[in-house]
Amino acid sequence: MSKLLDYLNYLDQNADAREAFAANPVAAMDSFGLSEEEKNSLISGDKSKVANLIGIDEADLPKLQSLETTH
């Protein structure tokens, strides 16, 4: 299983993780150990990129929200 898929499942199951992600997505993803490619794909909201990295069909992903962050 990919680290990105692990993280999406973690967010789905953990309210504190969702709060941390909402407050500072980059820091939350950094602390989980996501790669730059994984972080960029998730921040972009591009389902195709995320699905490709995870190795699943795009239709199997929930709707992703594009995130605006300052780096």
Look at residue 44 and give its three-state secondary structure.
Answer: helix
pTM of this structure: 0.80
Residue whose C-alpha is closest to residue 48's, from 61, 35, 65? 61
Convert the pLDDT of each residue in 26-50 to its tens digit: 999 999 999 999 999 999 988 899 9
pLDDT mean over 51-67 = 77
> Which pLDDT score, from 0 to 100, does residue 70 have?
38
> Which pLDDT score, from 0 to 100, does residue 61 have?
79
